[in-house]
Amino acid sequence: MTEQETRRLRRARFEGLAQVVVEPLHRYLLRRASTETAEDVLSETLLVLWRRLDDVPGLGDDATADPDAVLPWCYGVARGCLANARRADGRRLRLVERLIRTRQRAPEEAAEHSELHAALDSLGAADREVVRLWAWEGLAPRQIAEATGSTPNAVSIRLHRAKAGLADRLGRKNGARPGHKSDEGRSGQ
């Protein structure tokens, strides 16, 4: 059998299966979810059935399918797809809630650190990302290099320059570097 004939046979088998299962699966899903969700899950279910066409029990090599033989397995696939959709909806909802909470806190934090945010915004996109990965995520230059696709040496140089640029933009009042005494390293005795 040629590849084209094999594809044609596979398509005919799927179309025969779909004719038998689409309506019952749609009703099944409508009883368990909203119309929009049911239609999305039905599409996902049909995609799974296409991918696993050879696994459908009771489906012969011809284009006809016995509903009593194929429907129970197809209901199981639809049930699994619906469970996946519900988990995905739950994750999306939790993400939206987390974003809302973060956004509600952001004005307070932004007001406290407006100079810092302005200084960060003045950096280039690559420098800003390196600084954020270092300061906010706590990554080492080697890890930042892996995340950004750069070399560790390039990240170290970029980070050093970006920190120096931030220090300049933030205008150190006394010119001293934080964490160092002004007479440190001098022999003034």
The one-digit pLDDT tens for each residue of the chain (189 residues) are 799 999 999 999 999 999 999 999 999 999 999 999 999 999 999 999 999 999 998 887 777 788 888 999 999 999 999 999 999 999 999 999 888 887 766 555 555 667 877 888 888 888 888 888 898 888 889 899 888 888 999 999 999 999 998 888 887 644 555 555 555 444 444
- Distances in Å between the Cα of 147 and the Cα atoms of 120, 130, 131, 140, 157 are 20, 10, 13, 11, 16
Write b or e for each residue in 117-152: b if 16 or more Cβ atoms lie within 10 A of its Cβ, otherwise e.
Answer: eebbeebeeebbbbbebbeeeebebeebbeebebee
